[in-house]
Amino acid sequence: MTAAVASLRPTTAHIDLGALRHNLAQVRRLADAREVIAIVKADAYGHGAVPVARALAAEGVTRFGVALVEEGRALREAGIRGEVLVLGGVVEDQAAEIVELGLTATIFHAGHADALNEAARRAGRAAPVHVKIDTGMGRLGFSPDAAPDAVVALARLAFLRLEGLMTHFADADLADPAYAREQVARFDAVAEAVRCAGVRIPIRHAANSAAVMATSSWRSAIGGPLYDAVRPGLMLYGARPGPAVGAGVDLRPVLSLTTRILVLKRVPPGTPISYGRTFVTRRESLIAVLPIGYADGYPRALSNAGRVLVRGRAAPVVGRVCMDLTMVDVTDVPGAAEGDEAVVIGAQGAAAITVEEVAAGAGTIAYEILCGIGPRVPRRYLDAASAGRDAGER
């Protein structure tokens, strides 16, 4: 998006690449020199996959995780090299494209493996794959009982190169390690059976952000789940998977979301605000209309429940959040004026609104809020390490 287009509408997501680098350093500290597979699926959780991947690659990250072949293609077209692991698996009619782009597929289905092997045979080169084991997520992956035989069968396919064995924790964000311990035991049993069958797979990985940030006692209780590589996602972007996770880890929010007061309306007592008249003023009020709504990713669930910051003070959301507009009451904000910045996520002066707070108010999780910030919201990339320069827009 060009600066001229962005200037027509002040609602903007600001992406702090310095904070991203800081969070990567925290991952590396906690991962103790293990490989980092940086998760940049879903447009890097709403932060912009290409700019984020470029910034991480400049810091020496050589492995990235996406969900879709289309996401992998976007990285390749942007010049991102190294491993791009497609976590969502292989859609059989995309097998040839996976090989052509040099992506690494996640395999959890024999038919998908056959299609990829055939595509690689036609291309005349082996396709790297990671094999997923379902140790308790109930989603994708070979079952622990079937996995050893499945891996042996995969190893016999001449044009597949088995590079990784992986699983995914169902509840690493919980303080109780009991279920994660069961998952680790199942994963370790599969890895040992595969080894005994004579199949060598160089990399094992399981740890998401919650597991990376878990306390040493949690890791000890389940047997240390970091293996050879870790897969941080949310923590790279400065948010926490749950309130009990990583309390002592120094993360910095990468994204802030701001807009500006479009218009101010002074209204008498008894004035209904927005659809359904769910809010009616009890006093003479100053209502600010903000050009942001649920089409931009600001949840409708925050109707009459959210807040934004104006001139360093909290202003409550009043009435229903609309598709393109949100109303807030700035009666108690001295000097509030049209054009004032309104912070939806982020800091203003000494006050701050975190993405976790927004998520809690909407009855959801930080992942959904970040991923939900729509493409019509311009991203502005900032890099404090470059003398505070604006690193561009998208």
Please name which of 380, 390, 391 lies closest in space to residue 10, comparing C-alpha atoms: 380
Q: Does residue 132 have an active-site annotation?
A: no
β-pair partners for 377: none
Length of the chain, in residues: 394
Q: How many CB atoms lie within 10 A of CB 106?
A: 22
What values do phi and psi take at 48, rounded to 5? Answer: 100, 100
Q: Is 336 in contact with 261 (CB distance < 8 Å)?
A: yes
Q: Does residue 41 have an active-site annotation?
A: yes
Q: Is 165 in contact with 194 (CB distance < 8 Å)?
A: yes
Residue among 41, 132, 227, 294 flagged as catalytic = 41
Instruction: Write the single-letter amino acid at 186.
Output: R
Residue among 227, 237, 265, 275 flagged as catalytic = 275
* Bridging pattern class, strands 307-310 and 341-348: antiparallel
How many C-alpha atoms does 368 have within 13 Å on its Cβ side?
A: 13
Angle at 316 between CA 315 and CA 317, to 5 degrees: 125
Angstrom CA distances, 251 to 22, 27, 28, 245, stand at 8, 10, 13, 12
Angstrom CA distances, 65 to 16, 59, 201, 355, stand at 21, 16, 18, 23
Angstrom CA distances, 182 to 135, 175, 212, 232, 241, stand at 8, 15, 18, 21, 21
Question: Which residues, other chains included, contact 383 with Cβ-Cβ below 8 Å and sequence gap of 6+?
Answer: 16, 17, 18, 389, 391
Q: Is 148 in contact with 190 (CB distance < 8 Å)?
A: yes
Paired tokens of 128: 């790297």
E strand or H helix at 358: helix 355-362
- Report the C-alpha gap between 306 and 303 in whole angstroms: 7
Please name the residue that has the structure tokens 């008894």: 270
Please name which of 64, 97, 67, 106 lies closest in space to residue 81, comparing C-alpha atoms: 64
Active site residues: 41, 275
